[in-house]
Amino acid sequence: MKNASVPKVAEVVQREISVQWQAQISANLIVGSIPILKQLGRFPQLAQKLAAKPEAWTEFLMSALPKRMVIGHNDAEYWDRYYQNEFGIKGSFEGLEIPAAPAYPAWLVVMHEQISNRCNPIMEVCKKHYPKYWQYTSDLGASIVRHDRSGTYGIWVAASPSAEFGNVDGKNLSSQDVWDRGIITTTLPERLILGDTFYLKNQDHLDKNKINLCPGSRNSDGNVPSVNRHNDDNVKVNYWNPQNADDNLRFRLEISRNKGLS
């Protein structure tokens, strides 16, 4: 758009809305949860600019809505090597359509259809790399029966060593709150792949200070799986009741396209 107010609106969005709020707005818009925009009252300067010009709403939505792109060559090669080396999956991610990278620092996670909704084979790979691990059941696949996404696809998550989203206006959110608000968060397979690739690159673990709930997946009894690195250096896969909420329980927001249950 040639409207001169476009960069001004974008600048205000960047300046006034935190990384986590940008991610939540993007995650909600992509599933049509427009009511999240009612909370723009928390950002009075932005709300004032949007109210002053009707076209500013269009500009804001265009800047907030996730756009699409084709995966870069280097990223495609990296994920090709990872899946072939760790899972014996041969193929090519060249030409894969993924969401455009968000304005804030984010990590790309690419899932392959052969393992995108299967926890056991991913954990077997993680066990080869992690010095110590613990999981609440020997058969995660039998226990965790629902995942919000499947197939071959890419997602973006905010680049943070510990999951951060989960306290809004002084209230700790539960997984049920996340579902009720239509917020997109990671599945357990996505979080396991993210943790494994992060460890291979950095020889360090994610979520040493917080427990990363994964409401994108559900146990057969309705509970929500989680991952964290415990104080005893175990990488723990556990589960929590959907109503559980406290300062240690956090979520990873994501930008993706596929929102249907597998």
Confidence of residue 4 (pLDDT cuts 50, 70, 90): very low
Tokens of 261: 């249950």
- Asked if 119 contacts 140 with a C-beta cutoff of 8 angstroms, the reply is yes
Residue 46, Cβ neighbours under 10 Å: how many?
19
- Per the structure, the count of domains in the chain is 2
Beta strand 144-147 pairing with 217-219: antiparallel
Tokens of 48: 């004032």
pLDDT value of residue 2: 39
Confidence of residue 45 (pLDDT cuts 50, 70, 90): low
Quick check: 65 pLDDT over 60?
no
- C-alpha–C-alpha distance, residues 84 and 92, integer Å: 10
Considering the domain boundaries, does residue 180 fall inside one? yes
pLDDT value of residue 124: 96
Same domain, 12 and 119: no
Quick check: 215 pLDDT over 80?
yes
Same domain, 152 and 250: yes
How confident is the prediction for the chain on average, in pLDDT? 83
Same domain, 35 and 153: no
Q: Cα dihedral sign for 132, 136, 141, 147?
A: negative
For the ranges 61-65, 84-88, 113-117, 123-127, the lowest mean pLDDT is seen at: 61-65
What does the pLDDT look like over 135-161, one tens digit per residue?
999 999 999 999 999 999 999 998 999
Quick check: 33 pLDDT over 60?
no
Quick check: 233 pLDDT over 90?
no
Domain limit, last residue, from 44, 64, 84: 64
Confidence of residue 109 (pLDDT cuts 50, 70, 90): very high
Instruction: Please state, in angstroms and as integers, the Cα–Cα distance from residue 222 to each residue in 76, 165, 241, following that order.
Output: 35, 21, 8
pLDDT value of residue 94: 95
pLDDT value of residue 258: 41
Same domain, 155 and 116: yes
Same domain, 115 and 158: yes
pLDDT value of residue 199: 96
**pLDDT mean over 160-184:** 90
Q: Which of 173, 231, 236, 152 is nearest to 20 (CA)?
A: 173
Quick check: 59 pLDDT over 90?
no
Same domain, 47 and 33: yes
Quick check: 1 pLDDT over 60?
no
Same domain, 55 and 79: no
Same domain, 16 and 112: no
pLDDT value of residue 259: 36
The separation between CA 113 and the C-alpha centre of its own chain, rounded to angstroms, equals 18
Contacts of 30 (CB under 8 A, 6+ apart): 65, 66, 184, 255, 256, 257, 259
Residue 206, Cβ neighbours under 10 Å: how many?
23
Same domain, 79 and 57: no
Same domain, 47 and 72: no
Considering the domain boundaries, does residue 262 fall inside one? no
Domain of residue 127, residue span:
68-255
Considering the domain boundaries, does residue 129 fall inside one? yes
What does the pLDDT look like over 239-258, one tens digit per residue?
999 999 999 999 998 887 54
pLDDT value of residue 28: 52
Domain limit, last residue, from 27, 49, 64: 64
pLDDT value of residue 231: 82
For 22-40, the three-class secondary structure string (H helix, E strand, C coil) is HHHHHHHHHCCCHHHHHHH
Phi-psi region of 164 (alpha: psi -120 to 50; beta: other; left: phi over 0): alpha
Contacts of 214 (CB under 8 A, 6+ apart): 185, 186, 187, 188, 190, 191, 224, 225, 226, 227, 252
- C-alpha–C-alpha distance, residues 121 and 141, integer Å: 9
Kindly report the length of the chain.
262
- C-alpha–C-alpha distance, residues 45 and 255, integer Å: 26
- C-alpha–C-alpha distance, residues 216 and 175, integer Å: 9
**pLDDT mean over 90-108:** 89
